[in-house]
Amino acid sequence: MHVHPPKKEAFDLSDLTNTDPKGFVRPVEHYRREPWGLYMARHSDHPHFHYLESWLLPDLGLRASIFHYHPYHARDQDRYVDIGEFVPGEPVWRSVDHYLDLVVRTGRDTELLDVDELLAAHTAGHLDAATAERAIATAARAVDGIATHGHDLDAWLASEGMPVNWR
C-alpha cells in the first residue's frame, strides 16, 4: 500500500479561501466562527459532489462534514468525520489529517474507516506513535459519543456544548 503524508489544509478567513491538500485554492462562500469551532461552506468542482459544509472542532480533534453529492454519486451517509489536528489562527486556520474517518448514518450506525492507512502511515514514519495513539483515542471517543446519542453526530456535539447547524 502506498501511503501519502498527512493531508494538510488552510482555511483563510480574511481571503475567504480554502487551500486543499493538493494546493488548490477554492473560494469559500461562508465562514462562521464559534468559541468551539469554525464552520465553512463552499461550492465544489469535484465530480462526485457540488457543495461542502464542514465544522472544524479543535477541542475534539474532528472535522465534521456534509458532502452534497450529485444524485448519480449519492452515498449512504449523513455525516463524514475526519480525525486530525485543527489549529485556530488569525486569519488562517490549519488542519492536519490523521487518516482515520467516520461515516455516520444517522439513527443507524457509525463506521470507522482507514485503520489500515493509519497503521501504514505510522510504519512509513508519517505519524509518530503518540499521534497515531491520539488519533485512535479520538476516533474511539467520537464513535462512543455518537453511538450513545443514537448515531446522531449533531446530538452528540450539542451535548458537548457544540451545537452545530448546517446550511
- On whether residue 95 sits in a domain, the answer given is yes
Average pLDDT of the residues in 125-154: 98
DSSP assignment letter at 97: E
**End-to-end alpha-carbon separation of the chain, Å?**
37
Please check whether residue 135 lies inside any domain of the structure.
yes
Tens digits of residue pLDDT in 33-50: 999 999 999 999 888 999
The three cell numbers of residue 53 are 459544509
- Residue 65 included in any domain: yes
146 part of a folded domain:
yes
- pLDDT for residue 74: 79
Average pLDDT in the 52-57 region?
A: 98
pLDDT at 129: 98
Residue 112 and residue 102 in contact, taking contact as beta carbons nearer than 8 Å: yes
In a domain, 29, yes or no: yes
CB atoms within 10 A of CB 96: 16
User: How many structural domains comprise the chain?
Assistant: 1
Residue 2 inside a domain? The answer is no
Residue 142 has pLDDT above 80, yes or no: yes
**Looking at the domain assignment, is residue 166 inside a domain?**
no
User: What is the average per-residue pLDDT within 145-161?
Assistant: 98
Min mean pLDDT across 15-29, 30-44, 64-78, 86-100 is at 64-78
Residue 164 domain-assigned (yes or no):
no
CA dihedral (95, 133, 119, 104) positive or negative: negative
Domain CATH code at residue 61 = 2.40.380.10
Over residues 117-139, the mean pLDDT reads 98
| Contact call for residues 53 and 44 (beta carbons, < 8 A) | no
Return the SS3 of 65: strand
pLDDT surpassing 80 at residue 91 = yes
Domain range holding 93? 8-159
| Averaged pLDDT score across all residues of the chain | 96
What average pLDDT does this structure show over 123-135?
Answer: 98
DSSP secondary structure, 19-62, as one string: E-TTS-EEE-SEEEEETTEEEEEEE---SSEEEEEEEEEGGGTE
Residue 75 confidence (pLDDT):
84
Nearest to 37 by CA among 155, 134, 157: 157
